[in-house]
Structure 1
Amino acid sequence: MCHTIAAIATPPGSGGIGIIKISGQDALSVAASVFRKSAPAPEKGVSDTRHLKSFESHRFYHGHVADPENGKVLDEVLLVFMQSPRSYTREDIVEIHAHSGPLVLNAILSMVLRQGVRLAEPGEFTKRAYLSGRIDLTQAEAVIDIINARTDGALEAATAQIGGHLKASVDSVREALLRILAETEAAIDFPEDIEDSIDPEASLGLLRNEVIGKLMALTAQYEDAHYLRDGFRVLIVGRPNVGKSSLMNGLVRKDRAIVTSVPGTTRDLIEETLNIRGLPVIIADAAGLHQTDDPVEKLGIERTHAAIDDADLILFMSDISQPLARDESDIYERICHKKIILVANKSDLVDDTVSPEIPDAWGDMPMVRTSAIYDKGLDSLRDQIAAAATGGRGQMKSAIIPNLRHKGLLDQSLEAALAAAEGIRNDVSPELISIDIQEATDALGEIIGLTVREDILDHIFSNFCIGK
């Protein structure tokens, strides 16, 4: 981390304020070389050292950015210096707050880079915060979750994670494992001294209550609530011209899909993200499924089949005003392995007592009557979508939501802990039990970043934008 780095820390495009962030041991001297305080100006002949000492930490200074080579002023700015270790990275950090235009921000950044500073890699500021010990790896990952949060629930969960909730849970389990590991290794090193003092039942109880039970709870929280982070994928499926595009437009409350009376209008997968009962839902309108000789339409149908496999929920749409078509049974066979809500559309064309003819082979599935063009039944459908995602609870909230990386490591730790418990019950040698306990401990250490490979770190931080 010896290099001083810099990047534009605000999103691209025009706006009120844009920020150039500089971090590293030379951050202040580099910033001072391109910054001119408004008043009082440095006295003639004042040394660079005295000039640098005039900047107090965590205080804003008004001035101008000027080219140190020719004195040309680029912009009127504010500058703030955050002295190590009281900064995001625990290094010296300087932020230059300029007018947010792409040209001026890139010009200032280029000027900073010419002073021997390196352009930051994606996520490098947060990576330095992690490597300096200011945050653990789960907190670093929560930064990107906060940026990407699409609902209040997702933001609440990410904020809890950056506050250390997941780390605290992992630490609690890891400490219990370390206690068992210490006893096990003592039995290996000093068998004659402590053989009678180790209680297998006590170790089993500790494993069951403080390790296995808590690991199962954490993995269950991933299954229950990861949609808050990842989004719940919903696909509208049905024959052509049953109202799929009208339903899509009604749910997203805007004309996103083309609606015509011509079958086969939708050929590309159309996606929108919306908030349904606090849940980020990624809803897609797919090409109608039917037999066709049109090569372009065939391509759209192939994409629909691929999207079915990725979907968390299928909205199987049928025209309640028409008898069930033979190819609708074929569609059901293609989607029957997924969660399904039957959407009986065009209910405005029939009496309220009319129900769709559902074959016995389809089994019992939730059904909602809708008239997509009149927005009838859409609130009930939103409730059913939320219920499908939350297991019937309707709302999803959790202070701790492990991500997929965490889930894999939690599974590894749980598997090793279960093996250790089995070994204790069967009076297996302490050496073998120690291996399982160590494996369980190491997996948890990788979650919070105590033991993690460099390529894993690179992958995690590559998902960040430059400047964060």
Structure 2
Amino acid sequence: MDSSTIVAIATPAGNGGIGIIKISGTDAIKIVSSIFHRGPLLKGAPVLKKNNCFQLKSHTIYHGYIIDYENKNVIDEVLLLIMLAPNSYTRDDVVEIHAHCGQVVIKLVLDLVLKHGGRLAEPGEFTKRAFLSGRIDLSQAEAVVDIINAKTKKALKAATSHIKGDFSSAIELIRKIFFKMSAQIEAVIDFSDQIDEDSGDLCQVDTFRNNVTDKLKGLVNQYNESHVVRDGFKVIITGQPNVGKSSIMNRMIQQDRAIVTPFPGTTRDAIMETVIIDDVPVILTDSAGIHKTDDPVEKIGIQKACEHIRESHLVIFVVDVTKCCSAEDILIYEKIGNKPVVMVLNKSDLAEKPFNFIPPLSWNITKAVATSALYNTGFDKLRSLISDCFLHEKSNSPLNSLLPNLRQKLLLDRCVKLAFFIEKGLLEKKPFELIAIDVHETINLLGEITGNAVGEDVLDQIFSRFCIGK
């Protein structure tokens, strides 16, 4: 592991009350000793004395000043927090300088630390060091990003459960079962003349299914049912040009985000915004109107709209309620395919009842709402219908703390497949040498989840998603 001393600004860019510069590494105390003056400065007295910060107590805050002794300049009045190894986030010596959060002063303090031997940290390097030092495992490290990016209380709850180690403990429990099974299989292979093949309890199909396969499937199902809590429920707003898609988008997010004009084809590129509905992030996409056109730019926008339809969890199909169902409405519905649909009958303020728009009997429309984007009516019901859809997506199950992310879920998918192969091998009395191959591969895959068996390229990819300073 790189033993250099790293430094980064740990607070967001811009002006504020407090700005934090974080330092971690073997030279952290030495560096701050070169730039920190403890206590008050005497008015008019020269700034000459440096502090020996090695004498300062761990987990204690000290008042003082950051000083450029070479140029005899006082940079800022600060608070200094020292956390000595191994009782720190990275298990190295860690120092935090709490300065006033102005862009100039924070940059000057950072430059001074770099000048005295610090190295600018890479994205996620502090957390990567916490992982490499064994303080946290890989799933706990990934939970740090989930906490930072959480948009709702439910997402935060799942992330904090991961950082406590609940998910890691569940994975390690299953991994230990595979280790025990591997030992039983190796014993049968090495001492086949002394040990009965059926003597190992984990080599029984029913025992293996209950202790392993069902638990792995449960974790995969938890992702399938509840990942929208963290990742968001994707909703595309589609329909013909000039039916009010952008106006509906603006009403849903309660701001003028999409440009609205009376001219068809105003929206060319997709516009995405997130709105919280029942504590779930709903990712709304306003797309170009779908219709036949010779305009090359419009064609690109329509192609992107169709791509968003394929990637969405739900389609809001907007129609002009003052018009009859047209051939282009039928074409749009065909592009929606088997996606769940909420039909929005917009411009209801202009329509006479009963509405002119009568969908074909072949359309499987079970959810519909009449709206007026102009008068802001019908949108409470629309939000309720969207909520019904993602509650159905989650099968109404309560949020389980063991919620894998996509990387973990893909690894669990492979584990489930191997578990089925192992079950089949046990059932068909296949040679244990063949079963052992699948057992060892599953152990390695579970190790990739917690970080016990993971390559440097995977680590680089994971920690590149972090911000600098974390």
TM class, shorter-length: over 0.9
Supply the AA of the counterpart residue of 1:297: E
- The match for 1:23 is 24
Structure 2 distance, partners of 1:407, 1:201, is 24
Structure 1 distance, partners of 2:83, 2:340, is 52
- Deviation for aligned residue 1:24: 0.7
- Deviation for aligned residue 1:295: 3.7
Q: Is the 8 A contact 1:246 1:257 kept in 2?
A: yes
Task: State yes or no: 1:77 paired with 2:78.
Answer: yes
Question: Aligned match of 2:420 in 418, 421, 425?
Answer: 418
Number of matched pairs: 464
- Deviation for aligned residue 1:420: 1.0
- Deviation for aligned residue 1:47: 11
- The match for 1:175 is 176
Supply the AA of the counterpart residue of 1:361: S
- The match for 1:449 is 451
Would the alpha carbon gap of residues 167 and 314 (structure 1) be closer, same or farther in structure 2, given more than 3 Å must change? same
After the TM superposition, which residues 2-151 of structure 1 pair with which residues of structure 2 at under 5 Å, given as runs?
A: 2-39=3-40, 51-151=52-152
Structure 1 distance, partners of 2:111, 2:49, is 25
Could you tell which deviates more after superposition, 132-141 or 367-376?
367-376
Runs of 4+, deviation exceeding 6 Å: none
With normalisation by structure 2, the TM-score equals: 0.94
- Deviation for aligned residue 1:353: 4.7
Supply the AA of the counterpart residue of 1:58: H
Supply the AA of the counterpart residue of 1:385: I
Give SS of 2:79's match. Answer: strand
Structure 1 distance, partners of 2:282, 2:243, is 22
Could you tell which deviates more after superposition, 396-405 or 293-302?
293-302
Question: Aligned match of 1:408 in 410, 413, 423?
Answer: 410
Structure 2 distance, partners of 1:202, 1:417, is 12
- The match for 2:212 is 211
Supply the AA of the counterpart residue of 2:276: N
Deviation string 1:382-421 (CA, Å, 9 cap, x unpaired) is 1221222232657873312211110111011111111111
Structure 2 distance, partners of 1:201, 1:144, is 37
Give SS of 1:153's match. Answer: helix
- Deviation for aligned residue 1:436: 1.0
- State the superposition RMSD in angstroms: 2.2
Give SS of 2:136's match. Answer: coil
Unpaired segments ≥5 residues, structure 2: 43-47
Give SS of 1:330's match. Answer: helix
- Deviation for aligned residue 1:114: 1.2
Structure 2 distance, partners of 1:455, 1:243, is 47
- Deviation for aligned residue 1:441: 1.4
Would the alpha carbon gap of residues 143 and 200 (structure 1) be closer, same or farther in structure 2, given more than 3 Å must change? closer
Supply the AA of the counterpart residue of 1:198: S
- Percent of aligned positions with the same letter in both sequences? 47
- Deviation for aligned residue 1:8: 0.7
Give SS of 2:146's match. Answer: helix
Give SS of 2:362's match. Answer: helix
Would the alpha carbon gap of residues 180 and 394 (structure 1) be closer, same or farther in structure 2, given more than 3 Å must change? closer
Deviation string 1:18-57 (CA, Å, 9 cap, x unpaired) is 111000111111112111111599xxxx998x92333110
Could you tell which deviates more after superposition, 221-230 or 189-198?
189-198
Give SS of 1:374's match. Answer: coil
After the TM superposition, which residues 355-434 of structure 1 pair with which residues of structure 2 at under 5 Å, given as runs?
A: 356-391=357-392, 397-434=399-436
Supply the AA of the counterpart residue of 2:275: L
Unpaired segments ≥5 residues, structure 1: none
Supply the AA of the counterpart residue of 1:269: A
